[in-house]
Amino acid sequence: MIKLKNEKQIDGIRKSCKMLARVYNEIEKHIVPGITTKELDDVARELILSGGGRPAFLNYHGYPGSLCTSVNSVVIHGIPGSQKLKEGDVISLDLGIDLDGYLSDSARTIPVGKISDEAQKLLDVTKLCLKKGIEAAVAGNRVKDISKAVFAVADKHGYGVVREFCGHGVGLELHEDPQIPNYVGRGPNPRLKPGMTIAIEPMINLGLDDVFIHEDEWTVETVDKLISAHFEHTIAIFEDHTEILTQID
Ligand code: MF3
Ligand code: CO
């Protein structure tokens, strides 16, 4: 069941999303060679708690961190730990906040120091996938218009589009209906309506689309061990426009 939100609810979700964008700006300052992923998790958690929020991922189905820290060939759900970032790495961060019962969700892949042109292009294209997906996310369109737009950009560059994980409704819970795949499959294709708040999140691999899950039951990595990128925004659909909630300009 897709939950349409009223103005008051969207306002609450927006506040949660703006806090998330501010927290990200702070975390990004700490992305330097030598820092551990656990230290980044600590920064994220403390910023959220001091802002009066709750880290939405912490203990979600037993997830042990506040932040997902996925380095290089790790696609998503990397668990913060003793791994130190090094020059040339890319790190995908994924973070959600519960602020007064309103949920936000956003991800971004960040370069550590100077990265290769090949890696930078993957980041740029994945960001473009998200942008095109958001442009297709207008009232009257359908979920598969988003999926098609995201896939087309990645496919044009020969990148692998991860199929096992999808975007989703978000706002009153972390994961709500509908699912938003990054490829056009056989699933449901609901119409996009004013009041929908959704997270669009392309996960794009430099090489093959295939991924596997580690024994920790969280870490998702590319089978070919080539790098992966992930960008995600929470957005709200209105009758005459779509707002990117997890962005501050
Ligand atoms: N941020 C993920 C998503 O976009 C959810 C993370 S699951 C968690 O759907 F367990 F790590 F929290
Ligand atoms: Co998400």
* Residues written for the chain: 249
Nearest CA to ligand 1 atom 7: 57
pLDDT computed for residue 57 by the predictor:
98
pTM summary value: 0.98
- CA of 102: how far to CAs of 97, 142, 204, in Å? 8, 25, 28
Cβ atoms of 8 and 234 within 8 Å: the answer is no
- Give the ligand at the shortest distance from the Cα of 78: 1
- pLDDT for 249 equals 82
60 in ligand 1 pocket by Cβ < 6 Å?
yes
List the pLDDT tens digit at each of the 249 positions of the chain: 999 999 999 999 999 999 999 999 999 999 999 999 999 999 999 999 999 999 999 999 999 999 999 999 999 999 999 999 999 999 999 999 999 999 999 999 999 999 999 999 999 999 999 999 999 999 999 999 999 999 999 999 999 999 999 999 999 999 999 999 999 999 999 999 999 999 999 999 999 999 999 999 999 999 999 999 999 999 999 999 999 999 998
CA of 49 from ligand 2 middle (Å) equals 20
The residue to which tokens 């609450």 are assigned: 12
Ligand 1: distance of its center to the CA of 1 in Å?
A: 20
Of 208, 218, 244, 222, nearest in space to 64 by CA: 218
Can you name the CATH fold of 7-244?
Answer: Creatine Amidinohydrolase (3.90.230)
What separation in Å is there between the alpha carbon of 77 and the centre of ligand 1? Answer: 7
Q: Which atom of ligand 1 is nearest to the CA of 96?
A: 1
CA torsion sign for 14, 15, 19, 20 is: negative
* Distance between CA atoms of residues 200 and 75, nearest Å: 15
Q: How far is 239 from 140, CA to CA, in rounded Å?
A: 9
